[in-house]
A = this chain, B = another copy of it.
Amino acid sequence: MSDLIRVAVLGASGRMGAQTCAAVEAADGLQLVARLGRGDAPGAGTLAGADVAVDFTVPSVTEANVHALLDAGVHAVVGTTGWDDASRGRVTEHLGRVNAERAAAGLGGLGVLIAPNFGLSAVLAMTFAAKAARYFESAEVVELHHPNKVDAPSGTARHTAAAIARARAEAGLGPSPDATESGWEARGADVDGVRVHAVRLRGLVAHEEILFGNEGEQLVIRQDSFDRASFMPGVVLAVRSVGSRPGLTVGLEHVLDLS
């Protein structure tokens, strides 16, 4: 990969794809070389020499796209949802094969980065929460969203609570103290022993607040996503990082430098 990273965008006419095109064009060191729309199959012809491709398409085609990108020798950044253990496993297997061939040919390995969330504030909030969890007696999560959301609690809040629960278990902490005898319906959902509350309010977009408490102190990590534009710094960071991370990476947090 040269110093200038050539980027193709798959799903370029969708909302996220269009924003990605604009973000790539505005970013130092990135060059937008191809916009692929609905009918455009990713291949040598359509990818126009791209080093990295960003996939914001739909669940039904995203896996096939990634395999085509690997065949074309292009790193992939994937924001499309719908991935599961099986589809990730097939990509890992494909990466193993193609990167062995590349190694034999003296080429660096290809990388695939699948990120459920490109929001830096959301990813950092989750990461910090997992790190803080072992140091506090109590932990709870409150997520707040617009009232058109159909599921509760949000996926981000579930992941955060699960990560907190794992960190507490590793540190030998039991459940957060709770003397509640009546009114459990006000105490939120139980995600691996961590209470998660979902607020729905007109005017909000997507927000998460993680509360930790010890005797005499509190730590609150709050994250607000006001606009889809907030995902672009994370997409650009992923595009810049994927070339130096051969193999499959799941989660933007792995390309953040938090040392």
A residues within 8 Å of B by Cβ?
119-122, 124-125, 128, 131-132, 134-138, 140, 142, 144, 147-153, 176-190, 195-205, 211-233, 237, 256-258
Question: How distant is the Cα of A125 from the Cα of B153 in the complex, in angstroms?
Answer: 26
For the complex, would chain A's binding face be called helix, strand, loop or mixed by DSSP majority? mixed
| Beta-carbon contact of B199 and A195 below 8 Å | yes
Inter-chain contacts of A237 with B (CB < 8 A): 135
Q: When the two chains form their complex, are residues B211 and A216 in contact, meaning their CB atoms are under 8 A apart? A: no
Chain B positions within 8 Å of A200 at CB level: 138, 140, 176-180, 187, 195
Q: Establish whether residues A152 and B182, one from each chain, have CB atoms under 8 Å apart when the complex forms.
A: yes
Residues of B within 8 A of A119 (CB): 217
Check if A212 sits within 8 Å of B150, measured CB to CB: no
Is the pair B182, A150 in contact by a Cβ cutoff of 8 Å?
yes
Given A186-B188, A189-B185, A196-B186, does the pair A203, B215 have CB atoms closer than 8 Å? yes
Which of B152, B197, B223, B256 contacts A135, CB < 8 Å? B256
